[in-house]
Amino acid sequence: MSGEEQGAETRETPLTGRHRALGARLIPFAGWLMPVQYSGIIQEHKSVRSAAGLFDLGHMGQVEVTGPDALAFLQWVASSDISTLNPGDAIYGMLTNPTGGVIDDIIVYRHPDATAGYLVCVNASNRDKDVAWMHQQRAAHPEWNVTVDDISDTTGMIAIQGPNAEAIVQSLTDADLSEYRAFQWLPATVGGVGVMAARTGYTGEDGFEFFCDISGVGKLWDVLMAAGEGHGLVPVGLGARDTLRLEARMPLYGNELADDISPLEAGLGWAVALDKGPFVGREPIAAMKESGPPRRTVGFRLVDRGGSPRHGYEVQVDGRTVGQVTSGAMSPTLGENIGLALVERGVAGIGKPLDIIVRGKPVRAEQVKVPFYKRDR
Amino acid sequence: MSSPANLKYTKTHEWVRIDGDTVVVGITDHAQGELGDITYLELPEIGDSVSADAPLGVVESVKAASDVYSPVDGEVVERNEDAIASPELVNSSPYDAAWLIKIRVSDRDKLDALMGPAQYDEFAGESSH
């Protein structure tokens, strides 16, 4: 039960003072001081599923990729097929490494103005690594006329997620939100703040992620909080963000994804376009697809009581180690312990048993279909 | 909030109520607040021996698993089955409904080292900035 540890290099977002005033518990995360919870993880989680939640995403990184060869560059560094994006579209993908592992998972947004290039949203923990990698790849291809610009320090980011998100945002903007589909983004004025409003998120619910100039973040937060009164909107910390994304079976870098885990092993083959032409890591990923991935990421639920599965816990079958838990938690929506594990492919299969080793003792689990939670559409 | 005056406290955020030759042990309001929503308790069996300053069980929240430490040497004589069945009681009633275990004390000297409420409040305040 350690207290809050604030390193000298821990940065605050423009909203940190508001989080303190709301009574949030603040923790260091990826070099940032971020709210882990306000009222409590379970309550915040359930509010996002039933109403709406507001998230400070000031720690996330944003990289602008512009120039005549921006598409060629992104096709080379990203796993998904960026050429499929019309102006105003977004796509999930990964920055893959030469050995077929994952540097980061990203969303690439094509600007609605076709000449204005792309925005790549990256994880806070990987921002410096990603930017260095992109600059290195750009330098390795001097024939490409492309500019890579880390605009994280001047870009603010807030998400609103949940079934009431659209109604709340619609009350603050003239833009017709019913025109927005998932994985589109468009410029809008929300409560007087100019934003790029993206219909993306990390919770399994409908909602928006807003990008704006960092000077507008405080006002944007305030107008959304005010408009959310009567719609059940609550501020949500990183704790519930993690349980929400796990129920929706969305990967977390450092858990499901790593330098030495293939997208195929992570269950993200759908985000790898092997047929789009050459890209970093294509050959080892294609070879693994041919032979079959040696490990699989599977979903499970605990059948017996014995505590919650957590990242790094050993997984056994018949007393033999077959893998590790990548993420696990007591699911607030399901009221049972769920998790994802990276295991030898031979033991993977829905309905098949696993033993999760919790504090030295095996706890019985069964493999289940994922996602654990899917919203009604 | 002040901690109850009739209890003693450890530096690992357990509370201790001395009752003859037994002690009742739970975790403090500060501790439950730090942990957040409690989802699971793992406590020793009746008859198990426990040692001062060694883990006697585990409290799990949504976010993490944390050890609970024994304040004394002794033997477990009772455990709170209601709290085991409904771990959220630790959040709502850490000093009453969610006591965790009763221990028959074999070495009373350890009790002298525990903090009083004022001393604990100051200690807990310092550890949460």
Q: What is the pLDDT of residue A5?
A: 47
- Residue-by-residue DSSP string for A203-248: SSS-EEEEEEEGGGHHHHHHHHHHHHTTTTEEE--HHHHHHHHHHT
HSE value, Cβ hemisphere, 13 Å, CA-based, for A105: 22
Pick A1's closest partner by Cβ from B13, B37, B40: B13
CA distances from A5 to A2, A30, A34, A306 (A): 8, 13, 12, 30
Residue indicated by tokens 């406290």: B9
Q: What is the mean pLDDT of residues A325-348?
A: 97
Asked if B66 lies within 8 A of A36 by C-beta distance, the reply is no
Parallel/antiparallel/unpaired status of strands A52-56 and A233-235? parallel
Question: What is the least distance, in Å, from the CA of A1 to any CA of chain B?
Answer: 7
Residue B43 within any structural domain of the chain = yes
Residue indicated by tokens 């209890």: B7
Cα–Cα distance measured from residue A80 to residue A109, given in angstroms and rounded to the nearest whole number: 12
Asked if A307 lies within 8 A of B60 by C-beta distance, the reply is yes
Report the 10 Å Cβ neighbour count for A350: 12
Structure tokens that stand for A206 in this block: 């409908």
Residue from A219, A262, A213, A243 nearest A101 by CA: A262
User: Would you say B36 and B59 are in contact if contact means Cβ atoms under 8 Å apart?
Assistant: no
Summarize pLDDT for A54-85 with one digit per residue, the tens: 999 999 999 999 999 999 999 999 999 999 99
Helix axes A238-247, A41-50, angle to 10 degrees: 50
Summarize pLDDT for A244-296 with one digit per residue, the tens: 999 999 999 999 999 999 999 999 999 999 999 999 999 999 999 999 999 99
Asked if B36 lies within 8 A of A307 by C-beta distance, the reply is no
What is the CATH code of the structural domain delimited by A16-56+154-247?
A: 3.30.1360.120
pLDDT > 90: what percent of chain A?
96
Cα–Cα distance measured from residue A343 to residue A241, given in angstroms and rounded to the nearest whole number: 25
Residue from A207, A210, A232, A231 nearest A221 by CA: A210
User: Would you say A96 and A103 are in contact if contact means Cβ atoms under 8 Å apart?
Assistant: yes
Domain count, chain B: 1
Cα–Cα distance measured from residue B71 to residue B109, given in angstroms and rounded to the nearest whole number: 11
Residue B15 within any structural domain of the chain = no
Chain B contact set for A243 (CB, 8 A): 62
The answer on pLDDT for A16 being more than 70 is yes
**Closest chain B residue by Cα to residue A311:** B64
Asked if B62 lies within 8 A of A42 by C-beta distance, the reply is yes
Q: What is the assigned CATH class of domain A294-368?
A: mainly beta
Q: CB contact, 8 Å: A25 with chain B?
A: yes
Residue B123 within any structural domain of the chain = no
Strands, E assignment, chain A: 25-29, 32-37, 52-56, 61-66, 90-96, 102-110, 118-122, 147-150, 155-161, 185-190, 193-198, 207-213, 233-235, 295-302, 314-317, 320-330, 337-344, 353-358, 361-368
A6 falls in which pLDDT band (50, 70, 90)?
A: very low
Q: What are A316's strand-pairing partners?
A: A321, A355
Domain extent for B83: 36-107
Interacting residues of B129 by C-beta distance below 8 A, sequence separation 6+:
A3, A4
Q: What is the pLDDT of residue A2?
A: 39
A4 falls in which pLDDT band (50, 70, 90)?
A: very low
Which ranges of chain B have pLDDT less than 50? 129
Lowest mean pLDDT among A37-51, A173-187, A330-344: A173-187
Q: What is the CATH number of the domain that holds B90?
A: 2.40.50.100
Predicted complex ipTM: 0.89
Structure tokens that stand for B12 in this block: 């690992």
Residue B7 within any structural domain of the chain = no
Q: Taken in order A248, A254, A270, A316, is the CA torsion positive or negative?
A: negative
Asked if B63 lies within 8 A of A332 by C-beta distance, the reply is no
Asked if B63 lies within 8 A of A1 by C-beta distance, the reply is no
Q: CB contact, 8 Å: A310 with chain B?
A: yes
Asked if B34 lies within 8 A of A1 by C-beta distance, the reply is yes
Residue B20 within any structural domain of the chain = no
Q: What is the pLDDT of residue B127?
A: 65
Summarize pLDDT for A183-234 with one digit per residue, the tens: 999 999 999 999 999 999 999 999 999 999 999 999 999 999 999 999 999 9
Question: What is the least distance, in Å, from the CA of A37 to any CA of chain B?
Answer: 8
A360 falls in which pLDDT band (50, 70, 90)?
A: very high
Helix axes A70-77, A127-139, angle to 10 degrees: 120
Q: Which of B13, B28, B37, B123 to mutate to test the interface with A (most CBs of A within 10 A)?
A: B37
Instruction: Provide the residue ranges of all domains of chain A, joining segments of one domain with +.
Output: 16-56+154-247, 294-368
DSSP state of A294: S
Q: What is the pLDDT of residue B108?
A: 86
Structure tokens that stand for A286 in this block: 């294609």
Q: What is the pLDDT of residue A377?
A: 73
Residue B116 within any structural domain of the chain = no
Q: What is the pLDDT of residue A180?
A: 86
Cα–Cα distance measured from residue A154 to residue A212, given in angstroms and rounded to the nearest whole number: 9
Q: What are A28's strand-pairing partners?
A: A33
Residue B45 within any structural domain of the chain = yes
Q: What is the pLDDT of residue B126?
A: 78
Q: What is the dihedral of CA A95, A96, A102, A103, to 10 degrees?
A: -50
The answer on pLDDT for A8 being more than 60 is no
Residue from B13, B42, B6, B34 nearest B120 by CA: B13
